């Protein structure tokens, strides 16, 4: 079985456009599926990774009105990799602008990795606008999670980490985040792009239980790397513009909403203990740990459960069938 066997068939947007949200940023958005169906907003990872045609395929297009967009500095939104006026509160405002543009009262919120972070932050800010949450690869923005990404991954991917750390001078390796931020902000485009590609390739190399060269190559492309590298480093440095423990402390604001969480047992990008921490804080949620998966939403076991969760919600308005 491949991920294409699990996802719904490819589909094209019936509508797309661009939304200027301030003097700096213009967002790309698209709508797919059934305009009379259950509204769902897809929040991509990264930050900076952007959406892809596969992002549309977790949802039955007969049952769902699927809204997707590239967050500030990501994908087809402009300017690519821009960190100015790029914060979590502003992204939450963007989601609300898009909801109003679409004339949607409430929607299901679907997000993985950084998208899970943003989904939780948005839902906790606007619980009245949410039908429920489908989350994958939980990232709660603790200091230990950031330090793990920068340094701990070498325990599982030593050569990949050596390539990542080796991109900067030896004396800078005690502060990889600072070293990379300086390079990616360089006025010399060649220096900035090379650093972004080294950062992004490092992540792409560690995403899957069985690493795929095609994933590494995609993350190493300039179009992806400039968004992923610059914005991940920016959000790491600012702790995602959230107060410490905010996403766990504010779970009571969404405790009444149906929630589904899926996480790969061998996810080294976002270790599984944080999915358990979220589930423990949110007892009404459903947690499924996939025994043979890493971080990527396109690993078969994770994709299968995401599709099943969306199908279950379409059938019953909750995730009780997933328990």
Active site residues: 113, 267, 295
Q: Do 306 and 263 form a contact (C-beta atoms < 8 A)?
A: no
Q: Do 46 and 77 form a contact (C-beta atoms < 8 A)?
A: no
Report the alpha-carbon distance of residue 126 to residue 291 in Å, rounded: 33
User: What's the gap between Cα 9 and its chain centre?
Assistant: 22
Q: Please, which residues bridge with residue 46 across strands?
A: none
Q: Which two tokens stand for residue 250?
A: 């504010």
Neighbours of 300 (CB within 10 A): 17
Q: Which two tokens stand for residue 253?
A: 């604001």
User: What's the gap between Cα 227 and its chain centre?
Assistant: 13
Report the alpha-carbon distance of residue 2 to residue 299 in Å, rounded: 8
Report the alpha-carbon distance of residue 102 to residue 311 in Å, rounded: 23
C-alpha count within 13 angstroms, C-beta hemisphere, residue 244: 2
User: What's the gap between Cα 31 and its chain centre?
Assistant: 19
**DSSP category for residue 49:** T
Bridging pattern class, strands 26-33 and 286-290: unpaired
Q: Which residue has tokens 């947690």?
A: 287
Q: Do 297 and 112 form a contact (C-beta atoms < 8 A)?
A: yes
Nearest to 189 by CA among 222, 163, 158, 162: 222
Q: Which two tokens stand for residue 164?
A: 């990542």
């Amino acid at each position: 079985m491949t991920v294409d066997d699990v996802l719904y068939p490819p589909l094209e947007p019936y509508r797309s456009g661009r939304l200027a949200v301030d003097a700096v940023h213009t967002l790309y958005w698209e709508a797919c599926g059934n305009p009379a169906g259950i509204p769902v907003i897809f929040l991509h990872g990264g930050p900076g990774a952007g959406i892809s045609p596969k992002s549309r395929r977790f949802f039955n297009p007969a049952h769902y009105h699927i809204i997707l967009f590239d967050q500030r500095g990501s994908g087809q939104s402009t300017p690519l990799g821009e960190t100015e006026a790029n914060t979590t509160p502003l992204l939450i405002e963007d989601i609300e602008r898009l909801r109003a543009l679409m004339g949607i009262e409430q929607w299901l919120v679907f997000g993985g990795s950084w998208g899970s972070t943003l989904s939780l932050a948005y839902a906790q800010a606007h619980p009245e606008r949410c039908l429920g949450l489908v989350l994958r690869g939980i990232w709660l923005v603790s200091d230990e999670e950031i330090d793990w990404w920068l340094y701990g991954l070498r325990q599982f991917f030593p050569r990949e980490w050596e390539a990542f750390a080796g991109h900067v001078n030896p004396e800078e390796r005690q502060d990889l985040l600072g070293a990379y931020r300086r390079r990616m902000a360089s006025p010399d485009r060649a220096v900035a792009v090379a650093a972004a590609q080294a950062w992004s390739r490092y992540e792409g190399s560690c995403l899957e239980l069985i690493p795929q060269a095609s994933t590494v190559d995609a993350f190493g492309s300039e179009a992806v790397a400039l968004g992923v590298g610059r914005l991940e480093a920016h959000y790491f440095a600012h702790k995602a513009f959230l107060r410490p423990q905010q996403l766990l402390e504010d779970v009571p604001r969404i405790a009444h909403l149906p929630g589904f969480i899926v996480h790969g047992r061998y996810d080294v990008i976002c270790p599984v203990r944080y999915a358990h921490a979220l589930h423990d804080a949110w007892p009404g949620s459903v947690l499924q740990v996939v025994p043979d998966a890493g971080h990527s939403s396109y690993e078969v076991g994770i994709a299968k459960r995401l599709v099943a969760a969306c199908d279950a919600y379409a059938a019953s308005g909750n995730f009780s069938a997933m328990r």
